[in-house]
Structure 1
C-alpha cells in the first residue's frame, strides 16, 4: 500500500473528512488532499501523528514506530558508461593516452556525459591498479581534495588530485607521491573534470 492510499484508509477508518484529519494533525484540508493524491508526501512526524490520531498503523509497520532516521535518498541507477580509451602515467607526470573506444562499464551516476578510462601499468598504484577503470563525470563540478582529469590547452592531460584553486592558479598533487605538487596557471587549462570513482575489470560490459 502506498503512503497516499494509507492516509485515505486511515482517515476513513476514523470516519473523518479531510478537514477533520487536518485539524487532528495540525494541517489544513488542502494538505491532506495533496497527501492523498500523492502531490506531496507527509514527513515522518506527520505520518506518526496520523497513525496516533486515527489508530491506523502505517503499512508494514505493525504499530507506531518512533525514529530519528531520515528516509533514505533514492539511489542513482547504474547505467552504461562508455570507455573512451586507456591511460597510463608517463615519465614526465603527464598521461599517455590511447583513445580507441573499448566498450562500456556499469556505474551509478546521473551524469549523461560520464565516460570511463582504462588504467594501464602501475604508475598510479596503489590508488588505481592496472585493468581498473576510472569514471569521469564532466557535468559535476570538481572540488579540492578530489581526483580530477585536467586537460591543458597544449593537448597534454593529467590525472591528479586537485589540491586547491586560488586566483588565477590551480595546484595538483601526484596520486602516487612520485612527483612534487604542480602549480599551473588557469589560462593554460582547457578543462578540469571530476573523477567520480573507479571500478574493477569485471564491471566491463560488451
Structure 2
C-alpha cells in the first residue's frame, strides 16, 4: 500500500538526484521554501500529511521529471512477488465509454486494458485513465494520466470521473450530490457545468492522483 512516507521519500530522492535540498526543490518549483520541510509532513493533530497533487506537479515540471520517474523512486521500496513493481490498468477516456470495461458499480472488468507501473493505493480496483481532448484544460491536458479509485469516498469539491447511463465519460468537480441530483462544475472555464438526475449517472469515482 502506498504511504505518506513513500511519497515524501520519493520527493527527497528526486531533490537529491538534482543536487538540491527539499527547500531548494520547493523554491525551484515556485513554492514556499518550507513546503517540503519535515514539519510540514505532519498535521497539527500529529497525523501524516500527503503532499498536494499541485505541488508534486510543479516539482515534476521544474525538474523535467515525469510521473513515471517519480514512481521509480517509490517502486524501489515497494517490491512485488514477481520482482516487478505493482501495476494498475490503463484505459483511454474514449474507450471508457464503451461497454465491457466497467461493471455497473464502476469497477474495471473484462479485458482490453493496458497496464502501467504504479504503487498500491489502498484500492485493488484503482485504475488509470488517459485524458484525451482539451475539455479538461487547463487542469488536465491531452495525454495526462489520472488515477481513479472506485472505492474512495467522494465529497463535495472532489475531482471525479463520471459515466452516464448513455456512456458519456467526463472529468468534473463535484459541487453537490443529493438523492435526486448530481451537480458538477467543469474544469475548463470554456465549458459549462453539468447537472444530472441521479438515475442518469451510471457511476462516479474520485480522482486520487494526476500526472500533469
TM-score, normalised on structure 2? 0.50
- Name 2:87's counterpart in structure 1: 80
Check whether the contact 2:180–2:197 (CA below 8 A) recurs between aligned residues: yes
SS in 1 for 2:130: strand
Which of 182, 206, 209 is the equivalent residue of 1:170?
Answer: 182
RMSD (Å), alpha carbons: 3.3
Aligned twin of 2:130: 118
2:194 to 182, 196, 202: 182
2:153 to 141, 148, 151: 141
Larger Rg: 1
**Cross-structure match for 2:140:** 128
- Which blocks of at least 5 consecutive residues in structure 1 are unaligned? 1-67, 89-94, 201-206
Taking a change above 3 Å as real, the CA distance of residues 135 and 166 of structure 1, as seen in their structure-2 partners, is same
Tell me which residue corresponds to 1:191: 203
* Selected match of 2:169 from 157, 173, 179: 157
| 1:42-82 superposed Cα distances (whole Å, 9 cap, x missing partner) | xxxxxxxxxxxxxxxxxxxxxxxxxx8837489x9684221
- Cα-to-partner distance string for 1:145-195 (whole Å, 9 max, x where unaligned): 011111112222221111111341110111112222211100111111111
Q: Please give the alpha-carbon distance, in whole angstroms, between the structure 2 residues aligned to 1:181 and 1:69.
A: 36
Which 5+ residue runs of structure 2 have no aligned equivalent?
Answer: 1-43, 51-73, 79-84, 102-111
Q: C-alpha distance in 2, partners of 1:96/1:192?
A: 13
Q: How many Å separate the matches in 1 of 2:155 and 2:47?
A: 27
Residue 70 (structure 1) aligns with: 46
Q: How many residues are aligned here?
A: 126
Q: Normalized per residue, which structure has more strand?
A: 1
Equivalent residue number for residue 30 of structure 1: none
How far the C-alpha of 1:144 sits from its partner, in A, is 1.2
TM-score w.r.t. structure 1 length? 0.51
